[in-house]
Every structure is written in C-alpha cells, then in structure tokens.
Amino acid sequence: MTGAKCISASTVVSSSVAFQKAGAAAAENVRNIRLSVPSREFSRLRLSQQFRGCREGFILLSVHKNRRLSRAATVCSLVADKNVTIETEVAKGVAAFTSKNGFLYCENEMIQDIIEKERMNRCFYLYSKPQLTRNYQNYEQALDGLNSIIGYAIKANNNYKILKHFAKVGSGAVLVSGLELELALKAGFDPTRCVFNGNGKLPEELIFAVRKGVLVNIDSEFDLEHIVKAGAVTGVKAKVLLRINPDVDPQVHPYVATGNKTSKFGIRNEKLEWFLDEIKKHSNEVELVGVHCHLGSTITKVNIFKDAALVMLQYIGAIRSKGFNLQYLNIGGGLGIDYQHSGAVLPTPTDLVDTVREIVKANDLTLILEPGRSLVGNTAAFVSQVIGVKSNGNKNFIVINGSMSELIRPSLYGAYQHIELVTPPPVGAEVHVFDVVGPVCESADFLGKDRELPTPKDGSWLVVHDAGAYCMAMASTYNLRMRPAEYWVTEDGSVAKIRHAETLADHLRHFEGL
C-alpha cells in the first residue's frame, strides 16, 4: 500500500474488548492496531518470548494478517482485564492484494476463484496490472515540473507483457545486458530514453547500443575504450554518462549496496581528470552528457539520495568547468517497499524526488531515475499449494510446491517476504510457528522462517507477497523444477496468462540435433 495515507482512532477499553476489536478490525481496512499497556503490566508481557523485542509501553499488531491475531490474544490474556489503549490505524489508498473475511483478493478477484477457474496444479505468479499502472503514475506525479526520464530497471522483472505495458505508458528503460536492450526495443521502448549500465558490457553489445542511440554509462577505463571503438565502428557519436561512486552508505544488505568505495561498479573518482581528457581526445566518437550514481537497493531513507546528489553536484561543477555541457543527473533507483507488512511508513517517489528537486532545477538538469522494485515489487504474489505439514520435534514445517528455484530471495539474501493463507484456515486450526519450505534438495530451500500461521490443510494455497521484483527474474530450473506460469488481473477484472509455464519439452529442446 505504498504511499497510502492513514487515519488513527484511539479509545481506552478493557483488554477483552480490545481483543474483540482486533478481531473485527481484521475484517476491515485496518492496517495496524496498537495496544498501549499499563507499565505495571508490561513486565509480565516481556516474560513472553514473543514480546522480548517490543518497546516498552505498547505492542504493534498488523491485525489484517491472521498471524498477528494470536499475539493480540496473548497480550489480552497476560494483562487480564486491565485497561489498555487501543489505536486503530485505517489505511486509505488502493492495494493490489487485500484480505476480506479471511479470503485473499487480487484487486477484486478472489484468488481461490482464480485457482479453480484456471485449474492450477503448479505454483504460479499472479500480478495486478492496475497496480503496475498506479506505481508508474506515482513516479510521474512526483516528477511533475521537472525534465526527467523514468527508466524502468528491466533486471527487476523482464516479463515481456509487463515491458510492453511500461513502454506504452511512456517509461524509459535501464538495461544491463545486450539481450535486455533487444527485448526492450521489441517491447516498444524509445532507445533515446534508455540507459545501458554495467561493469562488463561486451563490445558487440556496445556497438548495438550506440547504433540505437542509447545512453551509455562509462564504468571503467576499458569500458570507455570499448565505447570509443563502438562509436568509431558505427559512425555514431555515443552519448555517455560517467558512473561515479559518491561513497554514501545506503544502509542496506551488502549484496545490494552499489555506490561505495568497495563496489565493483563505477570509475575511480580520483581518475576523473584522466577520463575527461580521454573523452576530449575522442570527441568524434563520444559525447559526455551526464553523470550517474547508484547507491543500492531496498533503501528506506531518502535523505541518502540528497546526500548523493550533493556529492554529484560537486562533480558536475568540476566537469562543467572543463567545458562539458552536462544535461543529465542520474541518481539510480533503489527505493524500498514494505516487505514486512508492518504498516511502516516508507518514503514515496514524491519523497525521493523532493529531496533533489531544487538541486535539479537550479542546475538546469534532466533527472533520470531507475526504479525497479518500487515499480513492480508489490504488484505480484507467488502462489503455492500446501503439500503437507510436518514436525521434526524441534521445528514445524509447511511444505509447499513452490521453492527456492522459483523464488530465491529468502535463501540468497535472507530476505523477508510476507506469507499469508489464500483462504481461512480450518475451524479450530492451531496457530504455530512454522518454516515455510519447498521440496528442493537443499536445507536452504525456504520461503520463510519462523512464521506464525494457522495450520493449513493439505491442498490449500498460500502466497508469498511482494514477489514482483527479483523473483521470477532470478528463477532457475534447479532440481529440474521448470519455471512457472505468470498471470495478471486486468483493469476489468479478467485474468490473463502473461507467460507460459516451462515444461520438460522446453528443456529437451536445447539438446535437439546434438
């Protein structure tokens, strides 16, 4: 529910009433419930393992998720009938995936109905096409009044139908391989609104990009050499940006931090003069038109972008003083989303743009953004069927037909993605702490660890939320688990397949005639 506005209400009630209200709130459009507990009762709460990490004085519950209702029950039982303050935070806005009476919906379509109508028997990805549009419009509105390019980072999700949709609404594209560029052009993206990134661009890829008029980022000495050769071969002057590391800490997982001194990306800043001299020497082959930086991914503090922009502004001033006409400031992407479903208020595209708006306007620049996760992340869920529930005596497991092969982020990064049942659990189902795991022959094959969930019945379905970015794009065929189908719910509520599931025949086709 990115960028949703919230209103809050607060009342003092008995703990038993608080729990009743929590249950009622779960069926409504309530994002959070906050129980403020009398301090003399809080010490007993902290004796419970569930609440040792809680801040003194209140418990925050995401009541629209079934897994948190048991925590409300625990709070209320532990404080007996002492008074607690209940604050409900009602989310105002539009979300692609919502829960009503325990049934999960994509837009206004019940996911269980989709499963039955499409006769699903394998895990699959389900997208909201309207949410794709809403996310893009959030960036458009944020950039109003600025010269800008929204460059969708194709690496986040390269589904061809999604690319065509973004091209149709006017997005540019950010590419990190020659095939991504080819796919973007086939999907209808304007090459002059595309940016070719990467620390290892191949000479033949650069020739193709320069010929098409794509903006190209210089990442190293050899990269500049290859770009110069591409300009000479094609007879087209390459429009280039220098990728500079502002060395601003993005405060994210080290695997997705890309703008610090230890990163493999970008030029050595102390060699700036050398790069400028080389570009001047080859002014017939290359034209320096801007600077670029990329801090990382899953960023939740937008002041980091302002810090980077101020650093970049110093470089822009130095470069312009050498006679270069810089037009573009590319500050990359990386805006985070609410994977935790905790109701956290995360920065919006408007928050991001507002941190650099005056810098861009005052220096007569065109701002380039490279959103990926924040455009597609919350538009999809990974839907899997429960094979069964088991325990090894120490751990409880929900075993599903989805796995790390189809969605590797939790295994690779230790990433959290929220998990929710598609339908209400059986009457009387006990709530336990589970690891949600797949059938792949690896101990690392998990979609979620230590998740408090009602015990599902065999054959029921669950979803891994926020699966639109770096999920299907990173899927593999490990254990010969073929990549799944993808569907989306359209504006009129119809469901359409946007990618076929892969089959064994697809695998065998690679060996024909050998």
d(CA 205, CA 103): 48
Going along the chain from its start, the domains and CATH numbers come out as 5-93 (no CATH), 104-127+378-509 (2.40.37.10), 130-377 (3.20.20.10)
pLDDT tens-place string over residues 321-365? 999 999 999 999 888 899 999 887 788 999 999 999 999 999 999
pLDDT above 60 for 453: yes
Residues annotated catalytic, as ranges:
441
- Give 76-108 as a 3 state SS string: HHHCCCCEEEEEEEEEECCCCEEEECCEEEECC
pLDDT above 70 for 457: yes
Predicted TM-score of the model (pTM): 0.80
d(CA 405, CA 439): 10
pLDDT tens-place string over residues 87-126? 443 334 478 999 999 999 999 999 999 999 999 999 999 9
pLDDT tens-place string over residues 176-187? 999 999 999 999
- Taking alpha carbons only, the member of 297, 482, 296 closest to residue 376 is 297
- Give 6-50 as a 3 state SS string: EEEEEEEEEHHHHHHHHHHHHCCCEEEEEEECCHHHHHHHCCCHH
Residue 19 pLDDT: 44
Residue 248 pLDDT: 59
459-482 mean pLDDT: 98
Half-sphere exposure of 96 (CA within 13 A, CB side): 26
- Taking alpha carbons only, the member of 406, 380, 351 closest to residue 489 is 380
Contact 381, 467 (CB under 8 A): yes
Outline where 143-283 has alpha helix (H).
160-168, 178-187, 203-212, 221-234, 272-281
Give the pLDDT band of residue 502 (cuts 50, 70, 90): very high
291-297 mean pLDDT: 82
Place of tokens 């507990």: 37
pLDDT tens-place string over residues 115-131? 999 999 999 999 999 99
Residue 262 pLDDT: 52
Contact 150, 139 (CB under 8 A): yes
d(CA 163, CA 435): 34
